[in-house]
Structure 1
């Protein structure tokens, strides 16, 4: 067995990328018992030695990741494992834990300061990634309390193969069939492992599982409607029917047997929250300080929201101004084409204002959010993986109202997509947010950097872009766009406060819902969705956290470079590195660590 548990035995420093005290062999840096030329030769030899050792370990981690997480491999564009599914058995998890501990010991035996700069950053990224996985495997153990885990595995694996035409439909359908045939086993393991169900995550899972049946009944068959091989189609229909039956039985089991006993807490607690921040995001600070930072940001945004609303109509309250503004929204039928038209304007602004290099002319396509994702997202970006060589489609998913919603709920949902909010959302998801960042990912310097990264980097960049556009004067003549951007920022700041609150301070879901209603000016139906999301996505503080980390990095870079600072170059340098934890980028970009916030 491993040397665990990770919570007790692993506590090595995350930073810095280089050390200044000792050389790899323990020799004080700057001293050598040989001549200068001999010292240079020996150091060059040792550097090559450590670089070669590291390259082998980096390849092992990459390969281990792809083999262990075949659905992730499919999304990344590596299709070697398209016929496989994630093995969610305890035996497989125990084997993964042992392998990770073994690899971690080998990685820690390589001195980071003996590596080339890009390898040193990869070394830090790999170490934090392994720690993060071990924390999830040994401490969080989501499969014991979140009933949606098997749904995510099964539908994610099928969706990754159906969405893009990276191979002929017959070839992709064979892989889908293979994954579908393994699905009942995934659910069998999940039933045995769900020992501490929490009520709200169980309620979410019931909704998600029921909604996903529609994906298997309609969307998945439609994705392969051009297949003419009767035998192959019959095999697919049989496997698909079994999966549909499995889903329905699982939903019934959750409702009848699990929900009545779902009395466990969803909160992960202070210790685990701190560890996930440290190893997932590179932020190692007292929770009290981080909570205070979030409260300060929420207050700052509220003050700006109030001032901006007064510019629009000083005779009304800020909430009244925003509610009036929210009436200006497209209908459900208009939402997707309206969004598509908006993207070109945003893209052109990036070019005209020299915001960032856009490394591809391929546009993203706006589509309806897939059924299995509806309950937890308003809008999301689905881009080709960095290793994808054939399919180039990118999809900007927008959640439409459900057919069975009341007129009041439909109106409440669409108000969140008013033309001003939708602009901020599209900046976040497409230009220059997620879509541009993941276009850059293809050009990341190493294999690991194309695969591994942090939540706060990706979401922080996209959220930062919303504020950036306002800084640069986008639609400056109309303060309603600024108010909408602030509204989106208030939503993310409330996620920050609610994430810490629900998981470390005893905040209830109802209290979180009220927070979103009162502080983010959200409709009750959307506020409830946001509060519930926080029970299964404890780190959704990372939108605001990442934005603040990036703003601090930009401020420090400006101070260092002075008049030589160029915004586009800063953004390009940030994006070309992949999406590692932002604190890991600080030393590479700044030449120093310093305060991260």
Structure 2
């Protein structure tokens, strides 16, 4: 997830799927004392500081606060003026000074983890404001705030519609000032061309949120309130049109910045964004070795499914590079052929959720929440890019549903578009997606993490923990014999994992090693077998973000490392379900802290 202005860098650390209300998982007895430590003077001081940090930071980032589930500021938008950013910076420095005054070594182990998380987020926000300076060159800062100001209010039913419409009215009245701040802050010579072009499309799409969310519900306000709503919409449309003219006439033609951030900034951001024990070089070395290993494993699977097939390419025991490539591609074609019909995608995705849930229960891999995830149709404006995703409320919005959103094929698509899409999202890959997004991936992880009592940890939950867990579960479930060890499922699971590995290599290749588009496309299309259209989109994403693409691989590696360390320490006493439940009981901190809590290692 992108971290943009200072306050967003401090609070918007939510993973792709967040915080459902309940689970049957319980922390083991050995961890109960850590979960409810005695309140020493230092612990009490840190508890007060944590509450103040959340109150202050969420107040300064109202758009983020709404998404997180803090609704006291739903009528406001972020102040991105020089004065507003200076206030945010001063607040972060004050909080950091107060944190420095606490003897962290005397805190409970759980509070030591939260203190480390808070320190990382504060330092990250200060660095982002002063060194990275996204406010000056990344227009997505402003598109995210303008669109998020409306979407975060209207997408979930956390309050009655009239109340949300009143808040939306106030925000629509405030967005024109935010757009003016964007024009004042952005320096076209520093803005990369891809960022400017993307911003042009994103700004044009903000008005679509009015059509999607506001207008259909507007009749729920009457009289003066309805008149104010209509006036706010009209003024916002005018402001968006004026801003669009500035983007297209001034920003896009003069955008000359380099999207590559370079080794020094990349290493600094990597430390903050991932909060991992792995360095850039360690990540690169692991990913390179893992890609070779995965391709070798894919070749072994390909040999098994191609054996005896007429017209199959040769599959010698020791293939050269071309033979390995040809065999894997031929085997993948067999998986691509197993796809749902155009009108069967939703029903098939529902089927995979049933299968995955039953399998996890049968194999007793991890405690499964009592309440199932709710299946919904994906909203129309989000269709066309993926078959499914997990959509959860913010961590402070307790009691709201978590959705597994499934996309039907858009009716206007041609048969050629449908065929291309379903080659990638074939039946086997939809199974992998369901494992990743819902069971036992994002949904289940969020359900367990919601039980941890730390509000700070819930708000600042680790993306690498959540994404890494979801990637980890793909292999964990496959290793347990999912779909009766169907080799084509294993092949697609390996292909999907190879995408995560490639993301980490691509991220460094683009921002540190100066890769060309041709190098990036070779990694994605030839080496990791992605469809060309998907790879084109990933090339753009690699330009628009830095370090986030490494999240999936690094998080998964740390989860695998933690499991190996637990197996080594516990020996014959190691129990897989117990390990999973314990790791998930800590509230999704950076993986290294969950491991340190689990194995009673020093918190560092």
TM superposition score normalised by structure 2: 0.85
Alignment counterpart, residue 385 of structure 1, candidates 390, 394, 400: 394
Give the whole-Å Cα distance in 1 for the aligned partners of 2:272 and 2:54: 18
The aligned counterpart of 1:202 is 196
The aligned counterpart of 1:72 is 64
Give the whole-Å Cα distance in 2 for the aligned partners of 1:477 and 1:589: 31
Q: Report the CA distance between 1:399 and its aligned residue.
A: 5.7
Q: Report the CA distance between 1:327 and its aligned residue.
A: 3.3
Alignment counterpart, residue 345 of structure 1, candidates 355, 362, 382: 355
The structure showing larger relative contact order (alpha-carbon pairs under 8 Å, at least 6 residues apart) is 2
Q: Report the CA distance between 1:483 and its aligned residue.
A: 0.9
The aligned counterpart of 1:98 is 90
Give the whole-Å Cα distance in 2 for the aligned partners of 1:344 and 1:237: 45
The aligned counterpart of 2:139 is 147
Q: Report the CA distance between 1:455 and its aligned residue.
A: 2.0
The aligned counterpart of 1:498 is 506
**Once superposed, what is the RMSD of the aligned Cα atoms?**
2.5
8 A contact 1:330–1:417 mirrored in 2:
no
8 A contact 1:274–1:284 mirrored in 2:
no
Q: Report the CA distance between 1:310 and its aligned residue.
A: 2.0
Q: Does 2:583 match 1:574?
A: yes
**Aligned ranges 1:359-438 → 2 under 5 Å:** 359-369=369-379, 371=381, 379-390=388-399, 392-398=400-406, 407-438=415-446
Alignment counterpart, residue 288 of structure 1, candidates 281, 286, 292: 281
SS in 2 for 1:476: helix
Give the whole-Å Cα distance in 2 for the aligned partners of 1:483 and 1:117: 42
8 A contact 2:260–2:510 mirrored in 1:
yes
CA distances 1:76-113 after superposition (whole Å, capped 9, x unpaired): 22221211212222211111112111211221221222
Give the whole-Å Cα distance in 1 for the aligned partners of 2:348 and 2:174: 40
SS in 1 for 2:40: helix
Q: Does 2:272 match 1:279?
A: yes
Q: Does 2:268 match 1:258?
A: no
The aligned counterpart of 1:36 is none
Give the whole-Å Cα distance in 2 for the aligned partners of 1:534 and 1:375: 20
8 A contact 2:142–2:178 mirrored in 1:
yes
CA distances 1:185-221 after superposition (whole Å, capped 9, x unpaired): 1111112222111122223223333344333223443
In structure 2, the CA distance between the partners of 1:122 and 1:218, relative to structure 1 (3 Å rule), is closer
Which has the higher mean CA deviation after the structures are superposed, 464-473 or 373-382? Answer: 373-382
8 A contact 1:461–1:547 mirrored in 2:
yes
Q: Report the CA distance between 1:510 and its aligned residue.
A: 4.2
SS in 2 for 1:266: coil
In structure 2, the CA distance between the partners of 1:72 and 1:474, relative to structure 1 (3 Å rule), is same
The aligned counterpart of 2:488 is 480
The aligned counterpart of 1:112 is 104
Aligned residues: 548
Q: Does 2:367 match 1:357?
A: yes
Q: Report the CA distance between 1:69 and its aligned residue.
A: 2.1
- Structure 1 unaligned runs (5+)? 1-5, 7-45
In structure 2, the CA distance between the partners of 1:141 and 1:396, relative to structure 1 (3 Å rule), is farther
Alignment counterpart, residue 548 of structure 1, candidates 543, 557, 581: 557
8 A contact 1:386–1:441 mirrored in 2:
no
CA distances 1:426-473 after superposition (whole Å, capped 9, x unpaired): 111111111112222321221111111222111111111111110111
SS in 2 for 1:475: helix
The aligned counterpart of 2:11 is none
The aligned counterpart of 1:173 is 165
Give the whole-Å Cα distance in 1 for the aligned partners of 2:447 and 2:561: 24
**Aligned ranges 1:184-203 → 2 under 5 Å:** 184-195=176-187, 196-203=190-197
Give the whole-Å Cα distance in 1 for the aligned partners of 2:514 and 2:121: 28
Q: Report the CA distance between 1:244 and its aligned residue.
A: 3.5
The aligned counterpart of 1:270 is 263
TM superposition score normalised by structure 1: 0.86
**Aligned ranges 1:435-584 → 2 under 5 Å:** 435-539=443-547, 540-584=549-593
CA distances 1:397-431 after superposition (whole Å, capped 9, x unpaired): 45666677665344322322111111111111111
Q: Report the CA distance between 1:149 and its aligned residue.
A: 2.1
In structure 2, the CA distance between the partners of 1:369 and 1:149, relative to structure 1 (3 Å rule), is farther
SS in 2 for 1:357: coil
SS in 1 for 2:482: coil
CA distances 1:7-35 after superposition (whole Å, capped 9, x unpaired): xxxxxxxxxxxxxxxxxxxxxxxxxxxxx
Q: Report the CA distance between 1:305 and its aligned residue.
A: 1.6
SS in 2 for 1:443: coil
Give the whole-Å Cα distance in 2 for the aligned partners of 1:232 and 1:584: 49
SS in 2 for 1:541: helix
Q: Report the CA distance between 1:378 and its aligned residue.
A: 6.3
Alignment counterpart, residue 214 of structure 1, candidates 192, 200, 208: 208
Which has the higher mean CA deviation after the structures are superposed, 428-437 or 85-94? Answer: 85-94
SS in 2 for 1:506: coil
In structure 2, the CA distance between the partners of 1:293 and 1:260, relative to structure 1 (3 Å rule), is same
In structure 2, the CA distance between the partners of 1:514 and 1:303, relative to structure 1 (3 Å rule), is same
8 A contact 2:263–2:512 mirrored in 1:
yes
